[in-house]
Structure 1
Amino acid sequence: MFSGWNWVAYGLYLLLNICPLEASGGLVQSCGHIIPESPVLALGSNFTALCILNESCLDFGNIYASQIIWKIKNRVVPKEQYREINRTVSSVTFNDTSSLATPLTCNILADGQIEQNIYGITVTVGLPPEKPKNLSCIVHQVSKLTHPMTCTWNPGRHTFLDTQFRLRYRWPRENFPDCVPKDVNNSCTIPDVQFFVNLEIWVEAANALGKAESDPLVLDPIDIVQPLPPHNVTVNSGILPTVLKLSWENSISSAVMKLKFNIRYRITGDTNWMEIPSEDTASPRTSFSVQGLQPFTEYVFSIRCMKEDGVGYWSDWSEEKTGITTEDKPSKGPPIWRIIDASHSPASWTVHLMWKAVKPPEANGVILQYELTVRDKSSLSSPLKKFNVTSTNLTLQLPNGTYEVTVIARNKVGASPPSVLLIPASNSKAPVKNLRTLPKYDKLWVGWTAPNSYVLKYVIEWCMVSSRSDCIIEWQIAQGDVQGIDLKGIKPFKCYLITVYPLYADGQGSGQSVKAYLKQDRPSKGPTVQTKKVGKAEAVLTWSHLPVDERNGFIRNYTILYKTIDGNETVVTVDPSKTEYTLSSLTSDTLYTVRMMASTDNGSRSGPDFTFTTQKFGKGEIEAIVVPVCLAFLLIVLLAVLFCFNKRDLIKKHIWPIVPDPSKSNIAQWSPQVPAKHNFSSKDQMYPEGSFTDVSVVEIEADDKKSFSEQDLKPFDLLKKEKSTSEGHSSGIGGSSCMSSPRQSVSDSDDGETAQNTSSTVQYSTVVLNGYRDQTPVQVFSRSESTQPLLDSEERSEDHAGGDDSPAQRQQYFRQNGGQDETNRDRPCFDRTKQITHANEGDLVGFVQLQISGQSSQPLGLGMEKNTQEAALSNVFQASTEGQTVRPETVEENPLSIDEMPKSYLPQTVRQGGYMPQ
């Protein structure tokens, strides 16, 4: 259905026969066009467009209206919206332009099914303007003579079209030029207006779809003036410490407009403003006195003004000005508290008095000093103690008792009311109950339940607990009707000790304490674990509590985690109060890795790993093995000792045979009694009247069962070994002075052993002492150390061919040999032989020979000459034969021949004081 406007366009086209235009992307010469051309459409309205083909293209291109295709922004419009009017005209209808987009094109399907664009148009969709609303105007005072007026309005909805606004105004009989907005479409400023004349003002809006006007506004510009704020504001202190006087100048003449004012003020540093009541400043003025201020306080002031009748607008606030009130005496005494240290002596106190500086609103000036008075209430006769200090603390040494402390703050105007603190001897009153804490953002709330008794005040102490520094106490006083306060300045992750004391009229209650954190975090580090004791199947772990600075919260528990190298990890939870734990059911001789974790409400942290190895043996196992082994060894040793003790004779026979004691031999009974005198030195003369008189060699078989008769003989200590001084040969006991071959000894063995059995013989030398004054001398035997055998030539004497001599013959033999002089030294050794005495029972076999050699050994320590030695020996034998009767011995009937006698050793030459060593 064509609209009237579309038919008009179509008719004009037919009449004027518009030449076809070249279409972009179409044929070389345009074959048609679209009407209307670039229409502006109302959003949501109906719209119909016509595509008209040129007659010249019908025959040339064989193109008809039925072949036309409509598109919106390259999107094909459904054919239900097409209509073929005739063979050259096709229309398309849109019921709602909300879906219509640009461009709208007319296309045709030519030969070969090739789509070709015929024509296209731009479609603009929008809304007509609405009626502007809320028109308001204000006259801004720029100077005393210039008053521009600015009007604003609400332009209404967005039209999606280019809409023009105009501010129009006029007097009742005169119009003024329209005011066109420059940057925005809802405000416009008229350069200057006249007061006291009504002015009609309205706004007009227009676009391609229509026009609209606002309701007119009729007003006198004087009623919409916003004056300039007062200027040149000054603040002066008044006579009273609570009054400040403000003065200023107005920017508009009172003849033009009478003003009222609004005054606001605040304390410097505070953000909250206070205002003077509006009725106090509702009349024109240029000054005002502000009362009710705090003494010695700095204030900030600001002023604004408007038309007196309240019609119009408030001016902006003036620039801020400050002023300080004068001083006044303090209105309140300083809060006071104490800390008592009674650790030094129970009979005296160290009282730390501390008070807070009076706040500026209460100090009313500069505090010059604090005056303290301490009164002992326990003793009324005690004098008052007064102190003037400028600091906020004082330490006193006081005896234990009840005291009343009064403190006064003083400035140059006067003194404050006194603050009184009662210090009782003991905190015997009721404490607070149910002390608790609760974090609130950056504050820590502390609450409690009041005691049943009436409380004047509460004192809240708190300090940050630290292992690095002392707990510095901060405190605050709350009124008795308060049961909770907020503590400010609390740091997160720090532990605080909080104590609350109730103060009564006649004393105070004991403090109740609690530890709290504003915020908690996991510990800064974990605990370090060590082993205190390690066993076979258990280990005692020990650790130290974390320092309070590293906890960052309340330690709720410790967790022990331990495992072997290839085993699963075992977890054990331990109470936070513990510092020691025993791990049980461990494997012996195994390496374990253990670490410990500390946990707070907000997390956990582990300490370093620690390794230990369990023992291979448990307690007592080593003792159980070692003790039986030791006992068995001791038992074996004991049995061996008992066995040896029982077989001692057999062992003694094979290991150390019995050696006869020569001092107990019967040969000691045979000794000449001829005293001999020698020229010994005084220190060597142990026996001045006795001398060695005889030397013999005794041979005893090892297996001989016969023993000598025992006789107590005392050995002489003077018998020492001497070195031989013989030429070219060391002559031992029984040594030959003439270097002869060894002689065979005579043995009394019943078995008649040969001379070769000399390995079991023991040699002895016989020492005979001369009796003192014809007393029987003591015979001493000394063992011979000579191992030199006698020569065969020496064993056979020329004078004694057989062994059957009588005692008389033997005595004669000894007499002859004993009386030899020096000339006998040159005789052959085999001529000087002794007579062999053979014992009847085999008890004694001896062969004695006195050998006086030209090369005799030098006696020990005496240095005697050889002649002296020979003479001494002669005297000895002579004294022995003359002074003592020799007891005859029984001689065997068939004595051994010389050849059958066993070999013996040479006799030792014994001198006083010792014998010759070999």
Structure 2
Amino acid sequence: MIATWVSVIVMLVAFVDGARDEDDKQPPAKIQMSSSVVLLGSPVTANCTIRDDFALAVGQAAHIEWHLGDHFLPSSPGANESSRVSQVVIPSFNHTRAFLTCSVRASTSQVLGGVEIRAGYPPVAPQNLSCQTNLTTPNTLTCRWDPGQQETHLPTIYTLHTEIRDRNENHSYDLQPGVHHYVIPRSGFSFFLEIGVYVKAANELGQATSAPLLLEPVSAAKFDAPTITNIEAVSRKFGCLKLHWSLSRHQVWLQDYRLNLEVRCKTADSNQWNPQPVLMSRAKTKPVDLCRLLNGTRYNMQLRIRYRQSPWSEWSGVRSGVTLESAPTGRPNLWMKVSRDEMHEQLNIHLFWKPSKQFHANSQNVSYTVMAQKPSGEKGMVCSTTGNYCSFQTSIKAKKVYLRAVNAAGKSPPIEVWIHQPKAVSALSRVSVVPQDDQSLLVQWKSLFSPSVTGFVVEWKPLLNTDISSTQFEMTDRNQTSLILTDNFEPYKPYGISVYPRFKDGIGLPQTVNAYLRQKAPSMVPKITIKKNWQSHVELTWDEIPLDKRNGIIKSYKVFYWNEKGVVKVANADPKESKVVLTNLDDVSLYQAFLMVSTFGGSLNGSTITFETEPFDAFSVLMIASASLVGLLLSIIFFVLSCSSKHKRMKGRFWPVVPDPANSSIKRWTSESTQDSYLASDSEEPNPVYLSHLSFLDLPVKPSKENHDDLWLNSSENSSDLGESICGSPFLPVYSGSNSDSVPYATVVFSDPCSSPTPSGPPVYLRSESTQPLLESEESFTPKCYQNAANVGKLTEQCFFGSSHDCIAEEGKDLKILWDDFPLLRALAINDSEID
């Protein structure tokens, strides 16, 4: 649009300049309209008249066209009765600025004339006119106003007018466009003469005037902040302070005028000013008294001033003063925590107190004493402190203690504090804490219905400060289930908040939560360590984050891990635990992992670690070893059970009965003593067998070489004693073993020759099972089964120890014993003559 207007203007200028040169500098056409500035949105009518002597139109039929900017406008009906006059009507002009042109079209189209049309609104009356006097050097009167919300789209001129009626003085001050304030110099007003002020706004469509403002310039003055020079206690008046104050040096000349004062105060330990300042009307710069204050209390004070209805000055600087002291009065808020020490039969007590609306310390230096019995002097005192708590122990039978406040002016009456045993009863189901704003926390709890509940105690303390004096508390009634805590809470610091139910006869179990005013990401992330690593599982652990590094409540632990393939997986850990197990890992693969810790205020990632899975882990080895051990134990148990079922047979195999050769004599052996039960198998009946023992009880003297042959020939001299005959047998071989004191011996096993049936086999000759080292050579005593062979080639049974009715030689047959084949049995030979 702007480019089109520029081109039209250039064409018009060029055409007009050419026309002026050719035709006495007269425009070829003239556009007439009522005004070039119109109301925005109103209709516009314009006429275009071409000169008669315009050269381009001589002898030609000309056609006039209209354009608004680059838009074609049709002519009004009946306007072209003459080819040199044309009219156009715009029903609603909605442009704030536009060019209207008329042109003639013959063989070519040529612009003949144009006009700029501007549209807008008339000004509105200025609003909110106000003036303020400056009492500092230089003295001025500054007036400001609001031009209104409607934009006029036309240049508007503002003019400030003043009128001092008592002096008949009028002044007007023109302002620059867009400026809506003006500073009237000191020569244009008087401090104590009323002045009228108004503002006029004008543009091409009209003008408007603000409502006049009548004021006394000094009443519109904003004083400088005054100064409190001193605060002192009023003599003999408790609870009163006297304030001395003054004006600034530029306004000290106004000290004799009556000014309005406003004083605000707060106790020295409070963070908030008294919401209702004390107003003192028409006060001169003289000391003022402020009363109805607490006795012996330090107050911080500020004041401000104004003249009549002028704006208030800024608050003065803070000064403090202390009222007169008096003895403490009233009862403070108390909170007692009791726990039992069963071992020593005592009660551990923590007693807290704080000021209440009823309690007044009435002194800056106050101390507190706790006594176990009603005070008579200082007997029974268990604690004396200037703090807000007392910890002590008392008897488990104690019922109450006494608290007293003391200052320089006196003592308060003793306050009874009943000791209630703790109750193992809970009347709460849920406690939650959320930030209320940047300085407070909202505590909410849900109470279980219990008619014996009388109220609740909300206790809070910073967890990073272990000093018990930092404990704070607040009491509520039984119908209250929420409380806003306002304290010096710090962001990113943990606070422990507990809610206790109060009963008529004690305090119930609390519900405790941790809370933060604001949270952010932790300041550190613990290092991951590998606790266990087996084939497809890895257990990762980490240390707990220190409380001062958490910056919020831990919401989650997440372990991100990946292998060479680059696929990232996430394992979530329980926020209450410090470990996680990664499962389904690839065998013999290299993994990387890092830990992310999140609070409700942000997250922080830790450093990356690398670990490798093992091909054969300890868990598999443990399973194999366990299975092998179980199998071995089962085998042992089976073997033991088998041995137990065949106890006698196993005993005979491993622990045989071996006689002691040193205490045995073959002549004293009877058939009963040599009888043992022998079982051929488990199903047979016991069959008595007889043991014939061959013993060499005395070691014979080693014969000389020359009579070696006679040793074996003298064995039959005395055979009445079988033992002696055995010892003296000429068939006894010489034993030359390494152990010269050991004597070889043997056992012959055979059936009872009389009572037993005929044996099916020959008698068995066995080596003794004795563990004593009696024999040197193993080969000479290998057990063998021997049989006697007859000369005729038949086997005959050999009878020992004489004949019996079951053992009789057949008639007509001679029995010949081949003793050479049985050298050891030769000692058992019995002659017939001896039998007889």
TM-score (norm 1): 0.51
Distance of 1:85 and 1:167 partners within structure 2? 54
* Other-structure match for 2:135: 142
Q: 1:165 aligned to 148, 158, 169, which one?
A: 158
Distance of 2:635 and 2:112 partners within structure 1? 121
Pairing 1:847-862 to 2, within 5 Å after superposition: none
Pairing 1:527-676 to 2, within 5 Å after superposition: none
Pairing 1:175-574 to 2, within 5 Å after superposition: 176-182=170-176, 185-191=179-185, 192-194=188-190, 201-214=197-210, 219=214, 221=216, 225-226=220-221, 228=223, 231-239=226-234, 240=237, 242-249=239-246, 251=251, 258-267=258-267, 270-276=271-277, 278=279, 280-282=280-282, 286-294=286-294, 295-307=296-308, 312-317=309-314, 319-326=316-323, 328=325, 329-331=327-329, 342-343=340-341, 346-349=343-346, 351-356=348-353, 362-367=360-365, 369-375=367-373, 384-389=380-385, 396=392, 398-424=394-420, 426-427=421-422, 433-441=427-435, 442-446=441-445, 448=447, 452-453=451-452, 455=454, 459-461=457-459, 474=471, 476-478=473-475, 483-484=480-481, 485-486=483-484, 489=489, 496=496, 498=498, 500=500, 502=502, 504=504, 508-518=505-515
Q: CA 1:188–1:46 in 2, change beyond 3 Å: closer, same or farther? A: same
Distance of 1:315 and 1:21 partners within structure 2? 67
Contact 1:432 1:512 in 2 (8 A): yes
Give the Å deviation of 1:515.
3.7
Q: CA 1:469–1:222 in 2, change beyond 3 Å: closer, same or farther? A: closer
- Match of 1:123, SS? strand
- Match of 2:230, SS? strand
Q: 2:41 aligned to 44, 61, 75, which one?
A: 44
Give the Å deviation of 1:164.
2.0
Post-superposition Cα deviations, 1:768-792, rounded to whole Å, max 9, x if no partner, equal xxxxxxxxxxxxxx99xxxxxxxxx
Q: CA 1:337–1:141 in 2, change beyond 3 Å: closer, same or farther? A: closer
Distance of 1:522 and 1:629 partners within structure 2? 65
* Count of equivalent residues: 611
Give the Å deviation of 1:292.
1.9
Q: CA 1:55–1:542 in 2, change beyond 3 Å: closer, same or farther? A: closer
Distance of 1:265 and 1:719 partners within structure 2? 123
Percent of pairs with identical residues:
15
Letter in 1 for 2:133: H
* Other-structure match for 1:76: 72
C-alpha RMSD of the superposition: 6.7
Letter in 2 for 1:406: Y
Give the Å deviation of 1:351.
2.7
Give the Å deviation of 1:324.
1.6
Letter in 1 for 2:299: E
Post-superposition Cα deviations, 1:433-462, rounded to whole Å, max 9, x if no partner, equal 23532323233334646854585x755556
- Match of 2:223, SS? coil
Contact 1:459 1:475 in 2 (8 A): no
* Other-structure match for 2:85: 89
Give the Å deviation of 1:289.
0.6
Q: CA 1:190–1:207 in 2, change beyond 3 Å: closer, same or farther? A: same
Letter in 2 for 1:711: P
Give the Å deviation of 1:106.
3.0
Letter in 1 for 2:232: S
Letter in 2 for 1:301: Q
Post-superposition Cα deviations, 1:242-293, rounded to whole Å, max 9, x if no partner, equal 2222233464877996544433334466343444554x52465633111122
Distance of 1:542 and 1:20 partners within structure 2? 93
Distance of 1:620 and 1:375 partners within structure 2? 73
Q: CA 1:373–1:318 in 2, change beyond 3 Å: closer, same or farther? A: closer
* Other-structure match for 2:786: none
Contact 2:40 2:95 in 1 (8 A): no
Q: Which runs of 5+ in 1 are unaligned?
A: 1-17, 560-564, 648-660, 669-685, 698-708, 721-781, 784-839, 846-918
More strand by share: 2
Distance of 1:340 and 1:234 partners within structure 2? 51
Q: Which deviates the most, 119-128 or 617-626?
A: 617-626
Q: CA 1:408–1:533 in 2, change beyond 3 Å: closer, same or farther? A: farther
Give the Å deviation of 1:340.
5.3
- Match of 1:84, SS? coil
Distance of 2:366 and 2:84 partners within structure 1? 110
Contact 1:85 1:91 in 2 (8 A): no
Letter in 1 for 2:322: T
* Other-structure match for 2:706: 693
- Match of 1:281, SS? strand
* Other-structure match for 1:103: 99
Post-superposition Cα deviations, 1:524-563, rounded to whole Å, max 9, x if no partner, equal 99999999999xxxx9x9999999979987999999xxxx
Post-superposition Cα deviations, 1:342-385, rounded to whole Å, max 9, x if no partner, equal 55x534326354435769994444446432312399xx9x9734
- Match of 2:161, SS? strand
Q: CA 1:624–1:231 in 2, change beyond 3 Å: closer, same or farther? A: closer
* Other-structure match for 2:732: 713
Give the Å deviation of 1:87.
2.2
Q: Which deviates the most, 247-256 or 266-275?
A: 247-256
Distance of 2:572 and 2:123 partners within structure 1? 80
Pairing 1:8-87 to 2, within 5 Å after superposition: 20-22=16-18, 32-36=28-32, 39-55=36-52, 57-59=54-56, 64-66=61-63, 68-78=64-74, 83-84=79-80, 86-87=82-83
- Match of 2:408, SS? coil
Post-superposition Cα deviations, 1:185-237, rounded to whole Å, max 9, x if no partner, equal 544444332467665554433322334445656x5636854363574443321
In terms of Rg, which structure is larger? 1
Post-superposition Cα deviations, 1:8-64, rounded to whole Å, max 9, x if no partner, equal xxxxxxxxxx9943499x99x997345249922222333223344454554578765
Q: Which deviates the most, 399-408 or 353-362?
A: 353-362
- Match of 1:129, SS? coil
Give the Å deviation of 1:693.
1.3
Letter in 1 for 2:157: Q
Q: Which runs of 5+ in 2 are unaligned?
A: 1-13, 436-440, 560-564, 654-677, 681-693, 711-727, 740-775, 778-815, 822-836
Q: CA 1:266–1:195 in 2, change beyond 3 Å: closer, same or farther? A: same
Contact 1:376 1:404 in 2 (8 A): no
Letter in 2 for 1:247: H
Q: CA 1:110–1:81 in 2, change beyond 3 Å: closer, same or farther? A: same
Contact 2:372 2:381 in 1 (8 A): yes
Distance of 1:417 and 1:179 partners within structure 2? 75
Letter in 1 for 2:410: G
- Match of 1:21, SS? helix
